[in-house]
Amino acid sequence: MPELRKDPVSGRWVIVSTDRGRRPTSFAVMERKLTGGFCPLCPGNEDKTPPEIMAYRPDCSSPNTPGWTLRVVSNKFPALRIEGNLDKRAEGIYDKMNGIGAHEVIIESPNHSELLSTMPLKNIEDILRAYRERIIDLSRDKRFRYISIFRNQGERAGASLEHPHSQLIALPVVPKRPLEEFAGAKSYFDYKERCIYCDIIEQELTERERIVGENAEYFSLAPFASRFPFEIWILPKRHLSAFEQNPDWKYTFLAEIFSDTFQKLDRALACPPYNYMLHTAPLNSPNSEYNHWHFEIIPRLTRIAGFEWGSGFYINPTPPEEAAKFLRES
């Protein structure tokens, strides 16, 4: 029997349609094709990217040369540009401003064929630390109100380059989806005087039906109202509103849960394409009692069609309890 499930944060309804018969083993294996050829992100091609903004160089090599383990550069074809003023203005009933922001590429490894599931823990920890460093640096620019960090893995997920990388876009506004989450979380807090994510964590750790993996500080789960098959959230067990406020020592634990999660995904689904996104507090906002940062991972196993676009409903053919069990046993 299909179910309607309501996301307790956003209020969004999801159809979990078990009658559609998509068991974990029924998803087509996504073949990972290595095309070879020239890659501007590989070592030796540093002159083919914009100058690096920051890099981790264990051998103290010079900027924009080989010897790095991670580099951050401006996107060569940025969605927004950092130079200029916002110049907010109206045209009748319409509002607009200049496309001011920052668009950066985090080149995660010198190894062209590396996956998060195969990276050493230290490499993953460096990626997460680089996210924090860039958020802290960009938060000094008072034009920016929100930073979106995301990773597109595979052509179907929107990746234009094969080399392991993620991206960062600093925005002069808070996007609609985070605003919806903040509103839902604040409404819950105003009513119960508790963080809704902390309550979710407490219930999930008690029921243990949808947990994918955990350690002392973090855990991953298939959320109750999963929009997509094998959707996974990674959350800190202790309340923290902004990702950049994470204590330095916790990044080792976060790298462990990242590695565990992506190893399970790649084993269970044969290296599927996916997107992940960091959900965190707006920049320069006071410590929020209701926001709780987390990562959302969306394997690209199904396509969004007319019903989803037209109604705002998502149809998930695999119950999250079944997906979590399959991943735990992978």
- HEC string of 220-287? EECCCCCCCCCCEEEEECCCCCCHHHCCHHHHHHHHHHHHHHHHHHHHHHCCCCEEEEEECCCCCCCC
Cα distances from 256 to residues 133, 176, 210, 246, 250, in angstroms, run 20, 31, 19, 15, 10
Active site residue 165: yes
- The number of helix segments (H) and strand segments (E) in the chain equals 6, 15
CB atoms inside a 10 Å sphere around CB 3: 12
Residue 240 has which token pair? 């923290």
**111 exposed, middle or buried (CB, 10 Å; 0-12, 13-18, 19+)?**
middle
Cα(212)–Cα(30) distance, rounded to whole angstroms?
A: 21
Catalytic residue among 103, 112, 163, 165: 165
13: closest CA among 227, 280, 215, 246? 227
What residues are labeled active site? 165
